[in-house]
């Protein structure tokens, strides 16, 4: 008789959506994955209640599918926007949610009746890719999640690296142009100011100013303010010259930043995740070439630069894995 | 009766000089520290013989001073220019020394009759500052040694970080200007291309082209090719406007790079060592201001940026400490 597997539930709390799912603690397929709008404007209590209900639903679905009892579920991992205090499980400030010093971990734990663990969403996304995604088996992993902003996560010697006060891994905020574009963080020339989803949309609008014919205006019915990174990827896939140029520039900006990170960390894998992966080879081929051109050859020789393999669920997978690491399950 | 302390000998092998000294394995004052020219042109065998003789001299002096037997000396740590293979103790390629695939660790070990350990010189310099210098007691330390080039070392969770193939920590080769000055490494805009000793001298020569009166030409008897970073620090200390401007620019370039590193690592200490520390507050004050202006405030709040405390001996101290860590003394 072998020991029955234990299960962990993961919660990925975003500004727009909450995603919840479960998986066996030793890895394997996720189950009971579902998503609901966050509705942050209803307040922290309402969002916590929604999370608790979603966790219960995931437990019900997973226990039916896997044929296990509720007692097989040992805990809840939560990924949330930072900054937060892992030790105390408190979300300190979340501009996207409007919360201050909210004890999210203990509130979810009390609601579900299971122990819980908290880490930031970008760390969880990277940890998820390491646990069951594109970076499995690697000891040293850099994760970049490119959405509205650029989130980062670092796995060094097989563990998430948090730094002295838990805010390490702000990889979107390395300056690639000392006196470049002003970033939302106050610094100048941050990678995020050039290669985030918002920056891609901004650069596309700027590029249209050149007057070159493009599909982009048609895709947004002439309202250029509605251009998003997504619009750029669609136009690029249809062969649009302006959009392709924007994607190629994105690859070069990312290449400058990733080359620096490769010289710093000598990692085995860089996982680039988020909406930007929709640009596919049009992004990844020039990106790899730029890194090869700039970074130290011995470091490039042991490196893979790959798209994330868990679109939409890396955060949940990582939330599960962070519970497993924090509680040594 | 307490156990007698054991001692470790450290060797800092540079392109110009070899420095050797010893210390108790549990830290404390170094003794028997002395230096000789490397004379790399005599070949690897001659340099190895010189290292072995210097180690013997250090053992003799230290055992007399400390009143301990030769049997108290348990090993030799060696810091050498990289790239090298720590596992096998082999120096792979050293442009400064002209060696290829030389088994330095085992050759020194055989010559001295003690076990030995090898790591690269920049890692050792940072580890030395952590062990008995400016970064004592910290868990997360970034070390920058600014000489002809810029060497880097990373101490994360109290251990040197080496990366996937042992070449992590090339902190001089983060790009602060995507299309900036060409670096010797082939990349563009590297911190080293702006803030190394050679770059400081180059920028001083460029600044003199503006025609502003300066002490610099007099300090080198009119031969501008003889301007070094040292000349710039001297002129700056004497109040020279051009030199002060060069030092202030150096602080800003370093500030851009260090702010990125602070956002990445959230360290407790950044140690800036090497000749550049001679510039003193004229460098460190604007440097700290630049980092404060650019990096995330919560990360800056837990951060100290300090000059190295072991000029000339950080590498030896770190070589001793790397033996202690590798052999768990």
Chain A contact present for B295, CB below 8 A:
yes
* Distance from the B289 Cα atom to the nearest Cα atom in chain A, whole angstroms: 13
With CB atoms and an 8 Å threshold, state whether A178 touches B260.
no
Q: What is the overall mean pLDDT for chain A?
A: 95
A202 within 8 A of A188, measured Cβ to Cβ: no
pLDDT at A4 over 80: no
Q: Using 50, 70 and 90 to split pLDDT, how confident is the model at A329?
A: confident
Please tell me which residue of chain B has the smallest CA distance to A265: B168
Q: What is the dihedral of CA A30, A31, A36, A42, to 10 degrees?
A: -80
Cα–Cα distance list, B96 to A10, A80, B35, B41, B100 (Å): 53, 49, 18, 10, 11
Distance from CA of B150 to the nearest CA of A (A): 13
Alpha-carbon torsion, ordered A87, A93, A96, A98, to 10 deg: 120
The dotted CATH code for B7-130+313-326 is 3.30.420.40
Q: What is the pLDDT of residues B122-178, one digit of tens each?
A: 999 999 999 999 999 999 999 999 988 999 999 999 999 999 999 999 999 999 999
What CATH topology corresponds to A137-307?
Answer: Nucleotidyltransferase; domain 5 (3.30.420)
Higher-pLDDT residue of B93, A271: A271
Residues of B in contact with A160 (CB under 8 A): none
**A292 touching B, CB under 8 A?**
no
- Asked whether B30 and B313 are in contact (CB, 8 A), the reply is yes
Domain segments of chain A as ranges: 7-130+313-326, 137-307
| Whether the Cβ atoms of residue A31 and residue A61 lie closer than 8 Å to each other | yes
- pLDDT for residue B1: 43
pLDDT tens for each residue of A44-79: 999 999 999 999 999 999 999 999 999 999 999 999
The pLDDT value given to residue A237: 94
Under 8 Å between Cβ of A36 and A103 = no
Q: Tell if the CB–CB gap between B298 and A165 is shorter than 8 Å.
A: yes
Closest to A266 (Cβ–Cβ): which among B168, B259, B295? B168
Question: What is the pLDDT at residue A2?
Answer: 54
Whether residue B131 contacts residue B321, with contact meaning beta carbons closer than 8 Å, is answered with yes
Share of chain B above pLDDT 70, in %: 99
Complex ipTM value: 0.94
- Whose CA is closest to A266, among A299, A304, A301? A299
Q: Are B195 and B257 contacting, i.e. CB atoms less than 8 angstroms apart?
A: yes
Structure tokens that stand for B164 in this block = 């996937």
Structure tokens at A279: 């640009």
Kindly write down the DSSP assignment for every residue of B171-186, as one continuous string. GGG-BSBTT-SBPTTS
Banded pLDDT at B3 (limits 50, 70, 90): low
Q: Is residue B164 less than 8 Å (CB to CB) from chain A? A: yes
pLDDT one-digit tens code per residue, A277-315: 999 999 999 999 999 999 999 999 999 999 999 999 999
Query: What pLDDT score does A3 carry?
Result: 65
Give pLDDT tens digits for B5-48.
899 999 999 988 999 999 999 988 999 999 999 998 999 999 99
CA distance A264 to A174: 12
Asked if B7-130+313-326 and B138-307 have one fold, the answer is: yes
Q: Which of residues 184-213 of B touch A (CB under 8 A)?
A: 185-189
What is the sign, positive or negative, of the torsion defined by CA atoms of A162, A163, A167, A171? negative
**What CA–CA distance (Å, rounded) separates B111 from B126?**
27
In contact, B231 and B245? CB cutoff 8 Å: no
Q: What is the pLDDT of residue A92?
A: 87
Beta strands of B164-262 (E only): which ranges? none
B266:A139 CB<8 A: no
B98 pLDDT higher than 90:
no
Give contacts of A 90-109 with B, CB under 8 A.
Answer: none
Q: What CA–CA distance (Å, rounded) separates B320 from B175?
A: 32
| pTM confidence score | 0.95
Which of A3-7, A82-86, A257-261: highest mean pLDDT?
A257-261
Share of residues in chain B with pLDDT > 90 (%):
91
SS3 for B88? Answer: coil
3-state helix/strand/coil string of A286-306: HHHHHHHHHCCHHHHCCCEEE
Is the CB of A304 inside 8 Å of chain B's CB atoms? no
Interval A146-184: pLDDT, tens: 988 999 999 999 999 999 999 999 999 999 999 999 999
CA-based nearest distance A185→chain B, Å: 7
pLDDT tens digits, one per residue of B251-277: 999 999 999 999 999 999 999 999 999
Coil, helix or strand at residue A6: coil
**Strand blocks (E) in chain B:** 7-13, 17-24, 31-37, 73-80, 84-85, 90-94, 99-102, 116-120, 141-146, 150-156, 159-160, 269-274, 304-307
Question: Which residues are registered as beta bridge partners of A111?
Answer: none
Q: What are phi and psi of A154, to 5 degrees?
A: -125, 125
The architecture of the domain spanning B138-307 is: 2-Layer Sandwich (3.30)
Q: Return mean pLDDT, chain B.
A: 95
């Amino acid at each position: 008789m072998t020991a029955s597997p234990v299960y962990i539930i993961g919660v990925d709390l975003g500004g727009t959506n909450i995603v919840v799912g479960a998986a066996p603690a030793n890895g394997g397929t996720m189950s009971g994955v579902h998503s609901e709008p966050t509705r942050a404007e209803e307040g922290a209590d309402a969002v916590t209640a929604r999370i608790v209900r979603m966790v219960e639903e995931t437990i019900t679905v997973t226990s039916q599918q896997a044929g296990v009892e509720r007692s097989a579920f040992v805990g809840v991992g939560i990924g949330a926007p930072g900054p937060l205090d892992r030790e105390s499980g408190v979300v300190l400030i979340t501009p996207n949610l409007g919360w201050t010093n909210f004890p999210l971990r203990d509130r979810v734990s009390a609601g579900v009746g299971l122990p819980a663990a908290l880490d930031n969403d970008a760390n969880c996304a990277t940890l998820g890719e390491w646990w069951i995604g594109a970076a499995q088996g690697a000891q040293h992993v850099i994760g970049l999640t490119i959405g509205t902003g650029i989130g980062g996560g670092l796995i060094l010697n097989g563990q998430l690296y948090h730094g002295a006060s838990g805010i390490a891994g702000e990889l979107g905020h390395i300056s690639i142009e000392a006196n470049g574009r002003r970033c939302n963080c106050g610094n100048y020339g941050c990678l995020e100011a050039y290669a985030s989803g918002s920056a891609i949309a901004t650069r596309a609008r700027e590029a249209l100013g050149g007057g070159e014919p493009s599909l982009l205006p048609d895709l947004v019915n002439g309202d250029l303010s509605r251009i998003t990174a997504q619009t750029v990827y669609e136009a690029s896939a249809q062969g649009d010259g302006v959009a392709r140029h924007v994607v190629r520039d994105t690859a070069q900006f990312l290449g400058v930043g990733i080359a620096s990170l490769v010289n710093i960390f000598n990692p085995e894998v860089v996982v680039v995740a988020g909406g930007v992966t929709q640009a596919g080879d049009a992004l990844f081929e020039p990106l790899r070439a730029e890194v090869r051109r700039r970074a130290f050859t011995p470091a490039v020789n042991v490196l893979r630069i790959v798209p994330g393999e868990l679109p939409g669920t890396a955060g949940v997978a990582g939330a599960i894995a962070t519970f497993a690491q924090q509680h040594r399950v």
